[in-house]
Amino acid sequence: MNATLVHHHQRMLEQKIDPSPLAEMRRAYHRYCWEDDFAKNGRTLFAKHNAAVRAVGQGRRFLELEAAGGWQPLCEFLGVPVPDIAFPRKDDWLDYKSATQAADATRG
């Protein structure tokens, strides 16, 4: 989170540019969730959110998925076979960093 969404948010604030039509929503999200200080407030917010989700799921069929576990826990929960393809990792920090550096290079 800190290396991607929070980094992007800080970058847009510092550069004072944000071409996204969702820019105001993103700024409001960061203000509301952690008062624009993820380092100070982020862990507390996540712990509070996770506790609330666990409370709602208590006594119900509920899976708390750790992405590091790959397909196995998800497939067991769903009662389906494990696919013969790699577990998707779309939120890859290295891809984000490469794209960010390329964008910065084009701006000079």
Predicted pLDDT at 102: 76
Residue entry with tokens 């700024």: 27
Residue entry with tokens 């944000």: 18
Rounded to an integer, the average pLDDT of 52-74 is: 93
pTM score:
0.60
Distances (CA, A) of 10 to 19, 37, 107: 14, 10, 17
Predicted pLDDT at 91: 62
pLDDT over 80 at 4, yes or no: no
pLDDT over 90 at 48, yes or no: yes
pLDDT over 70 at 69, yes or no: yes
- Pairwise pLDDT comparison (82 vs 96), residue with the higher score: 82
Predicted pLDDT at 40: 93
What is the b/e burial string over 11-46, where b = at least 16 CB atoms within 10 angstroms of the residue's CB?
ebeeeeebeeeeeeeeeeebeeebeeebeeeeeeee
Predicted pLDDT at 92: 65
Predicted pLDDT at 61: 93
- Pairwise pLDDT comparison (72 vs 34), residue with the higher score: 72
SS3 102: helix
CA angle 103, 105, 108 (to 5 degrees): 115
